[in-house]
Structure 1
Amino acid sequence: MSVRDSLVVQFLDLVLCAVLVAAYGVLVATFGLSSPGIALLGGLLVGFVPGYAIVSALFPKAETSVDLRGDAKRLTFGHRVVLSVGTSFIVGALLGLVLASSPTGLFAGPTIVAVGALNVVGLLVAAGRRWATPPDRRFSLHRPRGVTFFTASSGLERIVTALLVVGVLVAFGGIGYAVVTPDRGETFTGFSVLTQNDTGELVASNYPTNVVSGESSDLYVEIANEEKRVVDYTVVVLLQSVDEETGAVTASSELRRFEASVPAGETATRQFTFQPDRAGENQRVQLLLYRGSPPTDPTRANAYRSVHFWTTVSATGQANASVVPRADTSLAPALRADVPPVSAVWSSGGSV
């Protein structure tokens, strides 16, 4: 075997790891992270390469052996694989803690960059340690001669080692998907009913809690889409009479419904006219939000999100808007969720 061929063999495992790191970066930049094949490579990138680089740096010699219960055991390639996976898990956990506490956060981009940099540094250190080892004593994939990669002292140990390696390889796909695919995070929709104050600011107060039947008031519905996709919403506005003792709805009428298509990550505000159609004390103005079309009988129970406020509708007299809505101690949804700033305002004319 020539010197050149000998060097190729002696550093082939480290070269393959380096090629894997480079190939993953190119594939992610070209095709993104959603492909199952790319996720599998990501699993190798996270669950194997960091540990293999560390194990190779710690044990650069071919004849490395460990003392187990007084018996010297050769550190075979199979043992190196198992140690590499365990070490990668530890390194990945520590790296995740560092990223989670850093300003960048534990997201796909920073994770890929951090793991890639760690792999490059680890492989360089491993190559340096192996280069410093005399050529005839360096570990390589063909050493030791006459001994298989998974050599063990007993048949049972060989089976256990093989099963561990197979299980680890199967788990790589899951590791890649869970760790290096984009962090989808929590998906939700913010939903609130607002009014406009004297300065033109939209606020979650000053609801029309005392109005005259047939009198109109301008209200606003705010929808914050954090569902990671475009969503077509439907809003249904109900006026409900509620039994104060049981909380049961004794009468309900639909005042209005409208649709809104909101892009992912954006907030839309829809203005509408609130005009109650019947008199009554302590009536609940219930606003229901649905993803897509609502059912035949819209209720709070089948809505995706709901908000409400209380109002008294008089047959005669003048409306007296109150800044404090009636508290609902039994049914208690928030009148406004924490949502991003308004990005669009849609106005709907006409009365209900």
Structure 2
Amino acid sequence: MGRWSDTLPATVDLLAAVGYTVVVLLASLSSLDGVFLAAIALPFLLFVPGYAVVASLFPTWNSEYENHRLIATERLLYSVAASICLAIIVGVNLEFTPWPIRPTPVITALAIVTVVTAGIAWYRRHQRTPTGLGQASMPSGTSQAASGRSDGERIQLGTIAVSVAILVTFASVTLVAAQPQRGEAYTEFGLLTESEAGDLEASGYPEQIAMGESEQMYFTVTNHEMETTEYVVVVQLARVAPTGEVTERTRLDSYNNRTATGDRWLQRHMVTPVLEGERLRLTYLLYRGGLPDQPTAENAYRETHIWVDVT
């Protein structure tokens, strides 16, 4: 099987890799359709970063000036394997950063790796050319044992490089798997009523309540905050001007509950109005942790309300 040609300039493939990297990075920053972006980025993800890394480890094409060399097939296979490992490493380690696992952050990280390792490869190649600080070629009478040591060293170095990449990939995946799954942290908050059949539903809210009487209601809080959370719910009845300004408010009740992640807090309660008037706002304010001095819809973590007439 033939060796890589020594007639190509030492920078052509590296310049091509860096140029392609720039094109892919610009494409990820643009508003390209997902299909076109995938068509441009997939060859990059599967080959280019690994090629630059392999070139930095095995810089010389001409075996006359380098003992540790790769034939073309080996270089291509190592490039694909290294690219896949790098993509996995970057993807799983983005879990520990503020950046999501999206095309732009992944491509940016791999672009940095590509440019840095291509620079290392360029430097090492120029140190090993006949015009630089290159090594002397092996005499024609070199023994078979010396040639065998060279091949052994080449295989050993390649094995070490691939093994390290696999170990780092495995360690990264294991570390992320041991962490709690990260996603969007939020809390579901809503009002429910009980139907005649006894089912809870988000409809059938009271439109009118007689002064001095009570109406049974439910509110529900579902914790998706990825951690146990202390919730406080304040129930208010407010008189609101046509401009939207609250002219009078009173607290009807408050409730608190420590809710584990993934759990649902369902609270049944009675609403007993103490204000009389039309179109009063029955407001539920949800807080995490403590309450402010003056609970309002503006400083609540979540807010929901209905309009009622109190006669």
Higher relative contact order (CA 8 A, sep 6+): 1
Q: TM-score, normalised by structure 1?
A: 0.45
Q: TM-score, normalised by structure 2?
A: 0.50
